[in-house]
Amino acid sequence: MNGWSASLPGRALRRMRCLRRAGRNGRTRRGTPRRPLWLPHLIGSGTPEGDRFSRAALVGVRAEHDQGDLFRALLESLACWLRHNLEHMQAITGQAPDAVILLGGTARLPLLSQLKADVLGLPIVVPELPEGAAMGAALLAGLGSGVFADPCQALASLRYGRATFEPDRARTAWYDRLYRDVYRRLYATLTDINHTLESM
């Protein structure tokens, strides 16, 4: 067994410990979330900016923060990124959602789903469909082969539970300020710096 594969169990345990710390470290002694935050542009900005030269940044770190704080900050920044995209879609369509449905691998992290609910101020619904893409492919195959007469019949054939994460209003108010006053300012503040780094 090579060194990379031999280290996988240790990596998995470290990630589990990090997740536990992230859950514990959500509040300071005064009852408010801790305050480091990421600009999560590890592979460029993605949507809605579409800036491939943007880079990730971590701000607000202090000596007392540990791995759990930094990991939670990353999850919080992903929730802020979702809010930014959702606001962009609302501006285009003129429609505001009353809930958000999550699918995919990150939906398996209850902490991240709760953070998204708190940051968006909306209920997050997670269908218990661990392999959503495979399920969709199966439904399309059923439509193509005539098993289902139409998409409505295909969807009606599904049986699954769902988990709903309701926003905590006190945390939503705090995250609203974090989003508006910190997260949304990070990209614009760092754009020139990141583009200069790219050109060096």
Confidence of residue 130 (pLDDT cuts 50, 70, 90): confident
Measured CA to CA, the distance from residue 165 to residue 147 in angstroms comes to 35
Residue 193: the pLDDT is 95
Quickly list H helices, 94-183: 110-120, 132-145, 151-156, 169-178
Q: Of 27-31, 41-45, 63-67, where does mean pLDDT reach its minimum?
A: 27-31
Judged by DSSP in three states, 36 sits in coil
Burial 80-116 (b: 16+ CB within 10 A, else e): bbbbbebeeeeeeeeeeeeebebbeeebebebbbbbb
Residue 133: the pLDDT is 85
| pLDDT surpassing 90 at residue 95 | yes
Helices 8-24 and 110-120: crossing angle in degrees, nearest 10, is 40
Residue 30: the pLDDT is 47
Given a contact cutoff of 8 angstroms between Cβ atoms, the answer to whether 2 and 52 are in contact is no
Residue 180: the pLDDT is 96
Confidence of residue 65 (pLDDT cuts 50, 70, 90): confident
Sign for the pseudo-dihedral over CA of 188, 190, 193, 196 = negative
Given a contact cutoff of 8 angstroms between Cβ atoms, the answer to whether 155 and 104 are in contact is no
Confidence of residue 1 (pLDDT cuts 50, 70, 90): very low
Domains and CATH numbers, the chain: 3-123+166-199 (3.30.420.40)
pTM tops 0.95, yes or no: no
Confidence of residue 46 (pLDDT cuts 50, 70, 90): very high
Residue 17: the pLDDT is 64
Judged by DSSP in three states, 92 sits in helix
Average of per-residue pLDDT across 66-81: 92
Confidence of residue 66 (pLDDT cuts 50, 70, 90): confident
Average pLDDT over the chain, rounded to an integer:
86
| pLDDT surpassing 50 at residue 6 | no
